[in-house]
Every structure is written in structure tokens, then in C-alpha cells.
Amino acid sequence: MRQILAILAAMFCLAAASDPADRLADPAQEARARAIFREVRCLVCQNESIDDSNSELAADLRRLVRDEVRAGKSDDQVRDHLTGRYGEFVLLKPAFSWGNAALWGAPFLVVGLGLLLLVRGFRTRAAEAELSQDEAARLARLSDDEPA
């Protein structure tokens, strides 16, 4: 049973593998390229890496990454080239920047400000609901003047 599962797994891996003609001759370079594939977002699928995607754009991006690696560029240079061309959205895990922090933090800031204003409004209403001494005296006089 295990042998059958191993054979099926091997067949599925071969079916999912890219065209051998596209692969780099140097196994170390191919491993670097594959690691970069897993970090780059498919711009068509948007939630898959180019390693997992079967779209034509993903194939073009894989070819571009392999060309960059073949040319001897570092991983950072390849990522810089991709972000320069497609924007930071192309990375599945974008680098930390104040712009990204503001983008992710803005909803929490808005909710926090909303809660602060809500609490402040409740406190103001509670303070306004209590009668001052003058108002209480006027109310007492009015209550005394009314016939029962």
C-alpha cells in the first residue's frame, strides 16, 4: 500500500513540475530560484505564489526570476527588480515600512478613536442627565405647586 502511495505521490509531483527545459542547469541556482518563487505573488491568482500558480503570467515571472538568478544577481536584487516593476504587492511578505505600518494600523486607529468618542459621548450624556442643585430646587417647587 505504501509503495502505491509513493508511486502516486511521485506521479503527482512530476505532473506539477515545470518544464525541464525551463529549469536552470545549476541545482544551487535552481534551488535559489525556487525559494524566490515561493515568496512572489502571482498577480493573476493573487493568493498563490508563482511556484503554485499555473497562469501564464506566473510562468513569465518564473522565467524572469530564473534569468535574473542565471545572470548572477542576488536574491535581494531579484526582489528589488520585481518590486520595481510590479510594486510591493508582488511580494507575499512585504518588507516593513512606515507606509505598510500605517496601512495595517489605520483600521485599528479608526476603531480606537470611534470607541473613545463613544465612551466620551456616554460620559457627557450621563453628566447631562444629572440635575444641578438649581434644577432640583426648581423641580421641587414645580412639584409642590401642582395639585395632586
Q: How far apart are CA 3 and CA 18, in angstroms?
A: 25
Question: What residue ranges do the domains of the chain occupy?
Answer: 2-90, 100-145
d(C-alpha 118, C-alpha 124), whole Å: 10
Length of the chain: 148
**Beta carbons within 8 Å of 97's beta carbon, 6+ residues apart:** none
Q: What's the predicted TM-score (pTM) here?
A: 0.57
The pLDDT score that the predictor gives to residue 15 is: 46
The predicted pLDDT at position 14 comes to: 46
Taking the C-alpha atoms of residue 24 and residue 44, their distance in angstroms, rounded to an integer, is 25
- Cα dihedral 93/98/100/101 (nearest 10): 100
**DSSP assignment, residue 12?**
H
What are residue 91's DSSP bridge partners? 40
Rounded to whole angstroms, the Cα distance separating 77 from 97 reads 18
CATH superfamily, domain 2-90, is: Cytochrome C biogenesis protein (1.10.8.640)
Report CA-CA distances (Å) from 21 to 32, 66, 87, 131: 17, 12, 29, 85
Residue whose entry in the numeric block shows the C-alpha cell 508511486: 7
Successive 10-residue mean pLDDT values, the chain, 148 residues = 66 51 77 91 87 90 92 91 90 84 91 94 76 83 73
Q: How far is CA 116 from CA 109, 121, 124, 127, in A?
A: 10, 9, 12, 17
